[in-house]
Amino acid sequence: MVPMMVGAAPFGVIFGTLVSSGPLHPWQGQLMSLTVFAGSAQFIALGLIAGHAGLAVVWATTFIVNLRHLLYSATLAPYVAKLPARWRWALAAVLTDEVFAVAYAHYRHAPPGAIGPHYFLGAGVAMYVNWQIWTLVGLLFGAAFPRLQSMGLDFAMVATFIAIVVPQLVALRFIAAALMAGVLALACAAWPYKLGLLAAVAGGVAVGVVLSRPWARRPAHAEATR
């Protein structure tokens, strides 16, 4: 988790800095990190609040942005299905992009149910504490660096997402799904309320599902065994 935590640090500081110069009180910004714990959704919500958007718009937009967590949950579900409900709720609360990447990389090398939840929980708690710390740093010291958000530090999060995605590209269907999602994300970037992100997710999933069908994978398998 350490590289993921390092990548999230500037993102947390920038969020805290934006809160300190925006419409929310510092305690509200820290409370958002404590209860929401979703970096991209928090940034979007903060921008909408600053633009005087209605509560329904804020809720709907952040809901759409976080729909990707349904895919994360569906992927991890077989590995946690036998856990008590209290464990599943706790793990769901700390599930983020980075935590998913680390937890799935650990789980997928063993049959479902063979590995306990502690690795997953440890990764989630580490990222949760990390996010709270750097949000607080931004809230406390952001006013001293008013142009912090324009210094390009947010590229650390982009690099983190690259590090999450690239190791997953181990088969043609994964590469095709990633390319489709990327193309749609660029083509639909101007759509309101981040609907372009949802379109990119749907397109990537559709390509991945089609190429995962047995009839689509049989030629490659036959070639490999020849």
pLDDT classification of 156: cutoffs 50, 70, 90: low
Q: What pLDDT is stored for residue 224 in this prediction?
A: 46
Instruction: Give the pLDDT band (50/70/90) at residue 131.
Output: very high
Q: Which pLDDT score, from 0 to 100, does residue 223 have?
A: 44
pLDDT of residue 216: 58
Q: How far is CA 15 from CA 3, 57, 128, 150, 152, in A?
A: 19, 20, 15, 12, 13
Q: What is the pLDDT of residue 132?
A: 97
- The fraction of the chain above a pLDDT of 90, given in percent, is 35
Determine the Cα–Cα distance for residues 23 and 19; give it in Å rounded to an integer.
Answer: 7
Q: Is residue 206 very low, low, confident or very high in pLDDT (cuts 50, 70, 90)?
A: confident
Mean local confidence (pLDDT), 15-24: 87
Higher pLDDT, 28 or 108: 28
Question: What is the pLDDT at residue 148?
Answer: 60
pLDDT single digits (tens) 23-74: 899 999 999 999 999 988 998 899 889 888 888 988 888 888 888 888 889 8
Percent of the chain at pLDDT exceeding 70: 87
Neighbour count for residue 10 (Cβ, 10 Å): 21
pLDDT, tens digit, 9 for 90 and up, residues 178-190? 899 999 999 998 8
Residues 80, 91: contact at Cβ < 8 Å?
yes
Q: Which residue in 17, 12, 33, 4 sits closest to 149, CA to CA?
A: 17
pLDDT at 95 over 50: yes
Angle at 122 between CA 94 and CA 19, to 5 degrees: 45
> Which has more pLDDT, 31 or 167?
31
Q: Which of 43-57, 117-131, 152-166, 192-206 has the lowest mean pLDDT?
A: 152-166
| Least confident span in 92-96, 119-123, 156-160 | 156-160
Mean pLDDT of the chain: 85
pTM reported for the whole predicted model: 0.79
With CA atoms as reference, report the closest residue to 119 among 84, 76, 149.
Answer: 76
